[in-house]
Amino acid sequence: MSKTFKTIPIKVVPATPADSPVELEEVVLYEKHKKVYPRWVTGRFTQWRWFWLVATQLFFYGMPWLHWGDRQMLLFDLVHRKFYIFGFIFLPQDLIYLTALLLVSAFGLFVWTSIGGRLWCGYSCPQTVYTEIFLWVEKWVEGDRLARIKLDNGPMNLRRLRLKYTKHAIWIVIALWTGFTFVGYFTPIRELASKVLMLSTGPWETFWILFYGFATYGNAGWMREQVCKYMCPYARFQSAMFDPDTLIISYDAERGEPRGSRKKTDDYKAEGKGDCIDCKLCVQVCPVGIDIRDGLQYECIACGACIDACDSIMDKMGYPRGLVRYTTENALAHKYPEKEIANHILRPRVIIYSAALFLVLAAVAVSLVLKSPIKVNILRDRNALVRETDEGLVENSYRLQIENTDEKLHRFVIRAEGLPDLKVLSDQGDIVEVPGNGSAVVGIRVQVEPQLVTRGSKKIYFVVQAADDLTLKVREKSSFIGQ
């Protein structure tokens, strides 16, 4: 079991005479992890969590099976170094787009966190989503909170073994299917499914299916809230993006204190009590096992389960909802009414993060619109940098690799510019055909009259233009060496 540091107050004992016995007290500096048994809860925020759970998992499990033309819609083909994302094909030289994606994700998270706090953690984070799925399986097999506690504390009998094995078997099936789907983003999933059925998957495919399945099983089935509390860095640096106008889940101590149990018919205000009946239901439903009444804590993932639990109790007692609610520190401190929370969204940090996000998105959009489906790489022939032909011409040799990321075949004409009367000879003739979503390597010889070029390196350009589409043209710089 994982262990956490715990601060223990040490009592100072006055000095005793030398002949008096001294009683030593053992001080424990570690506290064993206590398993959290979240209680099942229903309500509007629970419905939102399940909506996002279904939406994210439909995307994750379903996307690899969708096709765009004759290929998988979303595929990161590492073997052939091509990345298919909807209608676009990206090559390794398009690494700048990965950088842009990371920037968009980062600034998007900053904007969302500044406005809504940790709503990503509570509703869309994979750790939260799979933990919710595994908890649902656990409740379906073993029962709700009290039944699970009783089962774990009870004797090891056939019923307990049957329930435990059933639960873990379902968990393992979900985890392996998740690992299979994950690998399906890197290996065409239909081919992968055939390999799995024939037990003929490669070593790396087998490793990643089992590894990702094991990670899902371990994180969502066993570690659960420990991932959020001790492993996830987001919980640690989120406070840097919070301010008093950030939406958080808070307990209204002014209204709820002093807390205490009572009957529904009691005049609790006459007894000096607040609205909180100290039922501890908000603690029982919390997936990370904290008490929201202790104030804002970094462990809180803003899932809203405590709000649903508290609202259900307030309804039963006939009290107004909102003892535990989404609010901001300034609204809770009565610096402005809660109905004006939306008016405080636009503030300096949100504007800065949003501006940066917009600039990156705009740059990516413009780049994708202007992105040419034709890419050309030029390599010089190192074995013969320059030579003289039988006709007395100065000749340089090159190898052109033409990548056609379009979906259809294109026919290309190659010419050179930069020096007078450059002659281009191709080992594939005047027209070079490159299939859709394919490439071709072409040997090129560039010749020029010796009197038109001086000794040394001269700048030239290769122009590769589609004969069937004049808008497709690439101009790449190279050099020509004279003698």
Task: Give the pLDDT of residue 372.
Answer: 84
- DSSP 8-state secondary structure symbol assigned to residue 94: G
Calpha distance 340→343 (Å, rounded): 5
Question: Quick one: DSSP state of residue 319?
Answer: P
Nearest to 53 by CA among 125, 2, 146, 147: 125
Residue among 312, 246, 309, 320 at smallest CA distance from 283 = 309
Pick from 172, 152, 173: which is nearest to 163 by CA? 152
Count Cα neighbours of 422 within 13 Å in the Cβ-side half-sphere: 23
Query: Residues 6 or more apart from 354 whose CB is under 8 A from it?
Result: 111
With beta carbons less than 8 A apart as the criterion, state whether 289 and 36 touch.
Answer: yes
Give the C-alpha separation, 189 to 72, whole Å: 8
Tell how far CA 264 is from the center of its chain.
46
Residues with Cβ within 8 Å of 200's Cβ and at least 6 positions away in sequence, in order, are: none
Whole-number Å distance between alpha carbons of 428 and 412: 11
Around 53, how many Cα atoms within 13 Å sit in the side-chain half-sphere?
18
Bridge partners of residue 443, in order along the sequence? 399
Per-residue pLDDT 10s for the chain (483 aa) are: 444 444 555 555 555 555 556 566 666 565 677 899 999 999 999 999 999 999 999 999 999 999 988 889 999 998 888 899 988 888 888 888 989 999 999 999 999 999 999 999 999 999 999 999 999 999 999 999 999 999 999 999 999 999 999 999 999 999 999 999 999 999 999 999 999 999 999 999 999 999 999 999 999 999 999 998 888 888 778 778 889 999 999 999 999 999 999 999 999 999 999 999 999 999 999 999 999 999 988 899 999 999 999 999 999 999 999 999 999 999 999 999 999 999 999 999 999 999 999 999 999 999 988 888 888 999 888 777 888 888 889 999 999 999 888 888 899 999 999 998 899 998 888 889 998 888 899 999 999 998 888 888 899 999 999 988 878 889 999 999 987
Residue 371 pLDDT: 84
Cα gap 243→245, rounded to integer Å: 5
Decide: 122 and 286 in contact? Cβ < 8 Å.
no
CB 314 within 8 A of CB 252: no
Check residue 4 and give its pLDDT.
Answer: 47
Pairwise CA distance, residues 324 & 253, whole Å? 9
- Cα separation values, 339 from 43, 91, 261, 326, 331, Å: 22, 50, 31, 12, 9
Secondary structure (3-state) at 257: coil
The one-letter code for the residue type at 54 is V
